[in-house]
Amino acid sequence: MLFGGLLWLGFLAAVIVLAVWGFRRLSDRGDSEPKTDAKRDPLEIAKERYAKGEISKEEFEQIRKDLS
């Protein structure tokens, strides 16, 4: 009888641990999404735009000067 109770308690603890682990794993997926422009550093965005050729060197330097 004691062995059966301990076995049942161990089973319940395992179910709870797995449920918590699964919930945390699913909720962490939201953090791995790419950042939107609203969450990114403006200078990082300007560097990317300059690298893509969307803005000139002068425009990039002006943005960098304005942000610092």
pTM: 0.45
Q: Could you identify the residue written with the tokens 């990317």?
A: 48
Q: Which amino acid is at 40?
A: R
Residues of the chain predicted below pLDDT 50: none
Cβ atoms of 60 and 44 within 8 Å: the answer is no
14-31 confidence digits (pLDDT tens) = 999 999 998 888 887 655
pLDDT at 68: 83
pLDDT at 37: 61
